[in-house]
C-alpha cells in the first residue's frame, strides 16, 4: 500500500473513531458542564471576593484573571480524556480496535480530537460567563486568532499529556489525578496576582514556568498591548510540552500493544 493510501486510511479511521467518541460526549453533556463548573466558581470567587484586594493597575480584575481561568478550564477538561481512554483500555476496547485492519494511531488521535472539541465548548462557555461578569476586550481579529491558536496548541499539548495516564493508570482516580498539579500550577504564576509581590524563590519559579508566559501573552493580546518576545516564549513552551508528551505517549502506547 502506498504512503498516500496509508495516510488516507489513517484519516478515515480517525474520523470514524472520532464520531464514536463525540457520540459519547453528546450522551454525557454533564461532562462538559462539570468541566466548566470549577473554573467558573474560581472566577466568581476571585472576582467578587478577592478581586477588590488585588491591585492590577488600570485593568479590571476579570480581564486580568480570565486567561488563567481558560487554562484551568483546559486542564480540568483533559482529565476526562485520560478517564475515557482508561475506560477503553480496561474494557478491552483498544485491544479489539487495534486487532482490526485500522491505523493503530487513529485510536489515540480520536480521543485527542474529541478533547479538542469538548474543551473548545468549555472555553466558549467560560468566555460567555466572563462577558456577563464584565469581561471586555479591544482585541481585533488578528489578536483573537492568535489567542485561539495558543489555546488550541496548549489544549493539544495537555491532551497528549493526558493520554499517558490514560494508558498507564490502574484506577479511574489514577487516570485523572495527573490533572490536579496542572490545575494548581496557575496559582503559582501571574494568572491570579502579579508576580512582583511574591517572595523571592516563589517569584523566580512563577516567572519562569510555562503558565506565566502563556497567560501573559493571552492577556496582552486581549488588551491589544505589545507582546514582544512573550508570544514566542509561550508558543515555545506549548510546542516543547506537546513534543515531549506526544513522544512519551506513543512510546507507552507501542509498549502496551506489544
Q: What is the pLDDT of residues 97-134, one digit of tens each?
A: 777 767 778 888 888 998 999 999 999 999 999 999 99
Residues of the chain where predicted confidence (pLDDT) is lower than 50 = 1-7
Burial class (CB in 10 A: 0-12, 13-18, 19+), 60: middle
- φ, ψ of residue 63 in degrees (nearest 5): -70, -40
Which ranges of the chain would DSSP assign to H, the alpha helix? Answer: 3-26, 30-45, 61-90, 93-98, 105-132, 141-168, 172-176, 179-184, 200-207, 210-222, 230-257
Question: What's the DSSP call for residue 179?
Answer: H
What's the pLDDT score for residue 3? Answer: 41
Every domain of the chain and the residues it spans: 3-257
Angle formed by the axes of helices 230-257 and 105-132, nearest 10°: 140
Reported residue count of the chain is 258
Amino acid at each position: 500500500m502506498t504512503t498516500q493510501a496509508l495516510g488516507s486510511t489513517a484519516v478515515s479511521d480517525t474520523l470514524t473513531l472520532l464520531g464514536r467518541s463525540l457520540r459519547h460526549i453528546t450522551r454525557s453533556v454533564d461532562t462538559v458542564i462539570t468541566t466548566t463548573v470549577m473554573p467558573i466558581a474560581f472566577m466568581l470567587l476571585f472576582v467578587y471576593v478577592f478581586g477588590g484586594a488585588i491591585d492590577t493597575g488600570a485593568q479590571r480584575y476579570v480581564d486580568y484573571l480570565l486567561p488563567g481561568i481558560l487554562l484551568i478550564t483546559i486542564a480540568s477538561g483533559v482529565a476526562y480524556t485520560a478517564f475515557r481512554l482508561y475506560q477503553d483500555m480496561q474494557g478491552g476496547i483498544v485491544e479489539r480496535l487495534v486487532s482490526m485492519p485500522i491505523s493503530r494511531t487513529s485510536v489515540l488521535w480520536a480521543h485527542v480530537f474529541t478533547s479538542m472539541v469538548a474543551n473548545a465548548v468549555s472555553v466558549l462557555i467560560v468566555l460567555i460567563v466572563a462577558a456577563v461578569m464584565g469581561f471586555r476586550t479591544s482585541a481585533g481579529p488578528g489578536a483573537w486568532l492568535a489567542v485561539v491558536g495558543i489555546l488550541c496548541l496548549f489544549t493539544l499539548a495537555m491532551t497528549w499529556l493526558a493520554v499517558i495516564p490514560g494508558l498507564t493508570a490502574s484506577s479511574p482516580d489514577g487516570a485523572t489525578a495527573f490533572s490536579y498539579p496542572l490545575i494548581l500550577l496557575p496559582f503559582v504564576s501571574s494568572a491570579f496576582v502579579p508576580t512582583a509581590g511574591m517572595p523571592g524563590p516563589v517569584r523566580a519559579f512563577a516567572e519562569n514556568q510555562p503558565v506565566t508566559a502563556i497567560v501573559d501573552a493571552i492577556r496582552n493580546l486581549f488588551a491589544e498591548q505589545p507582546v514582544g518576545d512573550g508570544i514566542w516564549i509561550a508558543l515555545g513552551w506549548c510546542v516543547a510540552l506537546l513534543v515531549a508528551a506526544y513522544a512519551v505517549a506513543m512510546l507507552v502506547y507501542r509498549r502496551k500493544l506489544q
